[in-house]
Structure 1
Amino acid sequence: MTSGHELLQKLASKSEYENFRQETWQGTFADYLDLVRENPGIARSAWQRMYDMIIQEGTYELDGNREKLTRYRFFDDPYNDGQDAIFGLTRPLIELVNVFKSAALKYGAERRVLLLHGPVGSSKSTIARLLKRGLQRYSRTDEGALYSFGWKEEDGSITWDPMNGDPLLLIPMNHREGLCAELNAGIDSSKYEIEITGDICPLSRYYFQERLREFDGDWTKVVDSVVVRRIVLSEQDRIGIGTFQPKDEKNQDSTELTGDINYRKIAEYGSESDPRAFNFDGEFNVANRGMIEFIEVLKLDVAFLYDLLGASQEHKIKPKKFAQTDIDTVIIGHTNEPEFRKLQSNEFMEALRDRTIKIDIPYVTKLSEEIRIYEKDYNQRRVRGKHIAPHTLETAAMWAVLTRLEEPKHHGLSVLQKMKLYNGKTLPGFTYENVKQLRKEAKSEGMHGISPRFVQDKISNALVVNPHSTCLNPFMVLNELEEGLKHHSLISNEEIREYYRHLISMVKEEYTDLVKNEVQRAIAADEEALTRLCGNYIDNVKAYTQKEKVKNKFTGQDEEPDERLMRSIEERIDIPESRMDDFRREIMNYIGALSLDGRSFNYKTNERLQKALEMKLFEDQKDTIKLTSMVSNVVDTETQEKIDIVKSRLIRNYGYDDESATDVLQYVASIFARGDAKSESK
């Protein structure tokens, strides 16, 4: 067995030691100037660093999207196994990154508060968390390196700049233009030019003035006396990343944002306005060089919102007893609809509204993306001891998406069909332009409806309230969702609650169609029987189109093409009599084209024909299998063998386990039993 010491040695790596040395680098101001000349990116602004961090991860184009939307890999959370991946929301994320780009190029967006606005559970906090964690990771790389400075004391200790300011801020105003010209001389035109804007914090300014007197006004000796170090942004260590959230107004004041006096040090330094007796540890101070997140920003007291005005427009904050202090940080807040409406109606906050860039973060309205949200948390790797039956997460996602869609204005189009169109399905009479128009008409779509959190809670409930079942199926989840509607605190009236119940019924009907189709295909999955049926159909179609006769393989007699057989197959895919000649010619032309290419015909290459053959074979075989006998639990040995074959196909081809395959067969059998009973009563 490996000892504890050996295990630690095994886990340790030389690269970690090297990374630590790089991340804790220290040097002189002159060394730092050499670093800036070699890599000007270390002098970027917070907005520029944020934009470059996202772009560095790369982009890709979404498949099958005619608009060629760009997807940023950063939001797929590649470094954390996709745990915080943002599914869907491609357009809002493009808008967000465009704001970062504008701010990086200093087109004006850098003087704004970014406000992520959307319903509860729409990924606003996740986006902020991704950005914070991304900055932490990026600052550890060579591309994202940044530096600060400190003042060496007589005893050898170092007083680090409390706001982690850029060492270039130590250059006096009248020398900055010349230095920037020197540093920018060899910069590639595609890169950001170095600019030195702002001033050092009050504490560093105090030390600078002290040293300036000590060196008889020679500022070059002052900067030579400082120690420059590399810093790594960290929310836990409160370096470059700040987070602020509203609390009880009586226990929260603006010093949480801009720092407060250290009363214990007043006795030592003799004045409240001595910067050495001040704690520069407010969230704005901490967030310098990085970003600050305002959680539920519009729930803050108005006094706090005023601090945002100067911080965004002027890049300055006002610590108690000190002059305005420069900051360089990305300000991101998020809020939901009720608070945003309050902001709009508050005439006293017009200045803040003017300094805000609002980005709507709606719920996902594409079914495939909503399914991915639940698959991340509920999959066979994470849900141990329970099999998740096919379509379980799909039906939950389907209902969630339907609650977020507006009823279509288009005559004859249901909300379910609209959801399918949004998901990339094709419907007769609808083009891509129609889908774009549907989205355009529904301006607030995705800004209301059911949160993914509610659905996740109900899936979790369904997993634990059925302890004797080894399988989670769609009806368990849909029943939990319906039960949960009774006590859902965010549903404002009974009419909406009833509409959501109606949508659950709609989803159950859709699920029934899905599983009926799967069972039909499993029953009709006899390759040999399908091939024989297809060959028979093609022989008859060939004779029909060429006005020939078909030889009966049993009697050897030439007979007319079997119209009854051909129509029994074509009717399965809704080919009317008026179109049957066109369909048959289409099949023969397809076979002829394959023959010219030296390829043989296979029914699997024609999706419509395959579906028709499977449905025809199912109708022919369902009575021999006696599927309806499963309902009475009286099954003879021969029938049981056939049912077991169907079950094995469901397990092999569709992802069922033994319990869920049995459940779905019994469910479909009960549907056919009801259908047979209705037929007999007529």
Structure 2
Amino acid sequence: MGMGMGLGLGSNMQQNNSKEWVKDASDAQKGVNEILSFEEYVALAEKRPCLECRPSCKYIKDIFEYFGKSPRGDYNLFIKESANSTAVYGQQRVYEHIYQNILNFTEEGFNNKFILLVGPNGSAKTSIVRKLMEGAEEYSKCDNGALYSFSWIFPIESYIKGTLGFERRGEQKESCSSQTYAYLEDREISSILSSELRDHPLLLIPASKRQQMIDTWLKAFPSELETVRKSYLYYGDISKRNRMIYDALLQSYQGNLAEVLKHIRVERFAISKRYSVGAVTIEPQLHVDLRIQQITMDRRLATLPPSLQSLNLFSVQGENAMANRGILEFSDLLKRPLDAFKYLIMTMESRTINLQGILTELDIFFIGSSNEIHLSAFKQHPDYYSFRGRINFIKVPYLLNAEEEVKIYNDQIASLKSKMNFEPHALECLCLWAVMTRLRPALAKNYKDKKLGELVTTLNPLEKALLYSNEFLPARLDSEEKKLLKVSIQDVIREFENENLYEGKFGISPREIKQIIYEISSKGLMVTFVDILDFLNKFIDRKNEHDFLNIAPQGDYANPVRFIELLKDYQLEIFDHELRDSLNLVDDRSYEGYLIRYVQNITSLIKGEKIKSQITGRYEDIDHFFVKEFENNIKLKESPEIFRSHMMTTLGAYSLDHPNKKIVYTEVFTDLVKTLKESFREEQKKVIVNIAKNLVFYLSEVEDPEHKRSSSLSEEGRKEIEIVLEKLQGKYRYSQAGALTLARYLIKEKY
């Protein structure tokens, strides 16, 4: 009996769960599947005219604003993770160019240019469009993103004479003017003709009256009104088929427009890439993008009123029809024969497309992609200049920011975690190498500032990659050079952007980096930057597979062998610092007081005053010996007076930028702290060498767990090494095996 009750309860719970998900799914679809009568829709448009009176260019602008920007200024629309598409990182300038084009379209009232994303293969052109379409899908499902079209509803004869089906279900009709066929049940309908181009419902209102209504609704929103007045919503018309039905019904009802509009059912629709609703991609294979087909023999016509049965109605089909009021992507546009998209020139100018003599109005955001090879061929075509005026080219290069490049592969690394582990800095090392393959040496003639031109020509590929990634300034520069370079970073980044051979046009692609990650991950359970460099040493011999490996070197640039040498020194320097920090040979806290003391001394020196002691409160003489020692420790290369003045200026600027923040000198002078640490390391060289020897003995013990060989490592030395390994694992997130491997490599290369 108990078992029977248990089974009964389980069955009831399953039924309840089933009902719950059905109810939840139904609730979620209610808004998206909204149905209105025409009268109700006009009331809605009057209530929220800015949302209902917007062409596609304004709609897409609202998509950008709906998702907003991240604290860093990136458009969330593109960096948002989702199950259907990966985030697109590091292409902020591309997003800005797209958004600026949309603003221009909004001012014009329609999409009067074709946006063509141009770049090397694998530079995320398609991914950018995919994120835009995905954002449109999500936005169209929220209240402010609601989109409406309409269908023609024709009831069965018995309901035309009666009153059933004219009121909203569950409601009593209040007057004859509120009657509509919009809410008829399927059994009460003889035929439905949809609007294949998803015509806007407001186009059903005669143009002169519609213009008056829009002027009234948007009187309080002058900028929106200006946009709408230039758009098809203000002066346009419904499609040819809808116009034929409209006119035939109007004639049948002897000019009574209210009777015609009873047949209108306003329907909300959601943009869908999967089902080609307002988001469509045309592949490069040759086919017709838009066509018409006569439907006079369609069996639906037999159920239409007699006034419509004699009409030669046509069905509009193709990608342009499906994309209307949304986004149409031409993937690899320039792979198609030129004649296949010549119609775009006229469409951009007139907003219409001519189909067998029938002008069809389109409201589409046109965007496409092409690689550099096909663009070069296109520029040689005699019709290129005809197209150029209607196409806005936006360059989509490979990333030049290694920090952003790392984000591309984080998901891939996470998915491989069960079979291998990327140690700290390994992926960063690979991404820095990737960026270095995409860079050009600076040319002094490209800079108006002669000093800047001379300075940037001294940057090697690694220094340039680090400058682009995190504004890292080479330690070898003096304070004036660093200041000049820091304020000119954007000038350096933009140096080649208008040239044919721009940075990011060549080099290794993210697709190839992903393949490298898979290849490396198959070789072992652990990947350090040493493994990355070893792999790259072999990879650069694949010159038959990768064009960028065949570019003639220009000094350190386009020189893959030199890239590896630079990265090796850089990565060793990083791990050396981490190891020394773990050995307690560097104490960050001591540098704060050291810097404060120096600043106090040079402040008094500049002012010609004594120093007030923080301990005794008495005024004391300037410690000239300490000042000289400090400047020797940082290996000062310039005049002490200029350096001291620069330090005071830096502190003053920091105080102005952070008026209520206590000055932390190690944060303001990070480069000085690093230089002091290097100086300190030189002083502690003997200590480091001694510990390095202990580390060698410890590694021997690890490799000999059964203690077959005698160990020369003392207990104190062993404990010290174990503490170091704990710090490397805890603070810097190395595995024990990774820390030991890199420690051995560092000792071999540097000590």
**1:347 Cα offset (Å):** 1.3
**How many angstroms apart in 1 are the aligned matches of 2:514 and 2:544?**
14
Q: Secondary structure at the match of 2:42?
A: helix
Q: How does 1:583-602 map to 2 (within 5 A)?
A: none
Corresponding position: 1:627 with 2:659 = no
Q: Distance in 2 between matches of 1:239 and 1:15?
A: 24
Q: Does 1:50 align with 2:50?
A: no
C-alpha contact 2:147 2:268 (8 A) present in aligned 1: yes
1:512 pairs, out of 555, 572, 575, with: 572
3-state secondary structure, aligned to 1:325: strand
Percent of pairs identical after alignment?
22
> What residue number does 2:563 align with?
503
Using the TM superposition, give the Cα deviation of residue 344 of structure 1 relative to its aligned residue in structure 2, in angstroms. Answer: 1.7
Aligned residues: 623
Unaligned runs of 5+ in 2: 1-5, 157-188, 303-309, 444-453, 611-622, 652-661, 702-710
Structure 2 matches for 1:524-535, cutoff 5 A? 524-525=584-585
Once the two structures are superposed, residues 312-355 of structure 1 have per-residue CA deviations (whole angstroms, 9 ceiling, x without a partner) of 22222233x45121111100011111111222221123322211
Partner of 2:712: 636
Report the Cα distance in structure 2 between the residues aligned to 1:505 and 1:57, rounded to whole angstroms. 43
- Structure 1 residues 179, 263: closer, same or farther in 2, change over 3 A? closer
Q: Partner of 1:439 in structure 2? A: 493
The 1:604/1:231 distance shift into structure 2, 3 A limit, reads closer
Task: Identify the range of structure 1 (484-493 vs 3-12) with the bigger mean alpha-carbon deviation.
Answer: 3-12
Aligned counterpart in structure 2 of residue 366 of structure 1, from 376, 398, 401: 401
Which moved further from structure 2: 294-303 or 514-523? 514-523
Tell me, in whole angstroms, the C-alpha distance in 2 between the residues paired with 1:520 and 1:487. Answer: 40
Change (3 A) 1:451 1:534: same
SS of the residue 2:198 aligns to: coil
TM-superposed deviation, 1:465: 2.8
User: How far is 1:454 from its partner?
Assistant: 1.1
- Corresponding residue number in structure 2 for 1:327: 362
Mapped partners of 1:378, 1:331: distance in 2: 35
State the partner residue of 1:475.
530
Residue range with higher mean Cα deviation, 44-53 or 608-617? 608-617
Indicate the residue corresponding to 2:431 in structure 1: 397
- TM-fit CA distance, 1:447: 2.3
1:309 aligns with 2:345: yes
What amino acid does structure 2 have at the position aligned with 1:371? Answer: V
Distance 1:350 1:602, change over 3 A: closer
**Equivalent pair of 2:85/2:131 in contact (CA under 8 Å):** no
- 1:669 corresponds in structure 2 to 747
- 1:349–1:222 CA distance, 2 compared to 1 (3 A): farther
Q: Which amino acid in 1 is paired with 2:509?
A: S
Please identify, of 283-292 and 307-316, the stretch whose mean Cα deviation from structure 2 is larger: 307-316
Contact 1:628–1:672, Cα closer than 8 Å, also in 2: no
Among candidates 247, 251, 259, match of residue 209 of structure 1: 247
Letter matched to residue 393 of structure 2: K
Structure-2 change in CA distance of 1:198 and 1:490 (3 Å) = farther
Give ranges in structure 1 of 5+ residues lacking alignment.
63-69, 548-560, 591-598, 674-682
**Which string of whole-angstrom CA distances, capped at 9 and with x for unpartnered residues, describes residues 481-505 of structure 1?**
4544406645167345972343233
Distance 1:106 1:98, change over 3 A: same
Instruction: Tell me by how many angstroms 1:394 deviates.
Output: 0.8
For the structure 1 residues 495 and 167, does the alpha-carbon distance in structure 2 shift closer, same or farther, using more than 3 Å as the test? closer
Say which SS state the counterpart of residue 437 (structure 2) adopts.
helix
| 1:342 pairs with 2:342 | no
**Match among 409, 422, 430 for residue 388 of structure 1:** 422
Task: Give the 3 Å change call, closer, same or farther, for CA 473–173 of structure 1 in structure 2.
Answer: same
Distance 1:21 1:447, change over 3 A: same
Taking the TM superposition and a 5 Å limit, the aligned residue runs for 1:178-197 are 178-185=212-219, 187-192=220-225, 194=228, 195-197=233-235
Contact 2:295 2:312 (8 Å CA) reproduced? no
Q: Specify whether residues 488 and 288 from structure 1 end up closer, same or farther in structure 2 by C-alpha distance, changes over 3 A only.
A: farther
Question: What is aligned with 1:76?
Answer: 79
C-alpha distance in 2, partners of 1:137/1:85?
Answer: 15
> Offset at 1:134?
0.8
Aligned Cα root-mean-square deviation (Å): 4.3
Equivalent residue, structure 2, for 1:98: 100
**TM-score for both structures, normalised by structure 1:** 0.80
Q: One-letter code of the match for 1:621?
A: V
Deviation larger for 305-314 or 333-342:
305-314
Aligned-pair CA distance for 1:151: 0.9
Q: 1:577 to 1:293 in 2, by over 3 A?
A: closer
Q: Is residue 464 of structure 1 aligned with residue 548 of structure 2?
A: no
Relative to the length of structure 2, the TM-score reads: 0.73
Q: Which amino acid aligns with 2:290?
A: T
Letter in 1 for 2:121: V
Contact 1:520 1:618 in 2 (8 A): no
Give the partner amino acid of 2:78.
F
Return the offset for 1:295: 0.4
What corresponds to 2:192 in structure 1?
A: 158
Aligned-pair CA distance for 1:137: 0.8
* SS at structure 2 position matched to 1:143: helix
Q: 1:245 to 1:481 in 2, by over 3 A?
A: farther
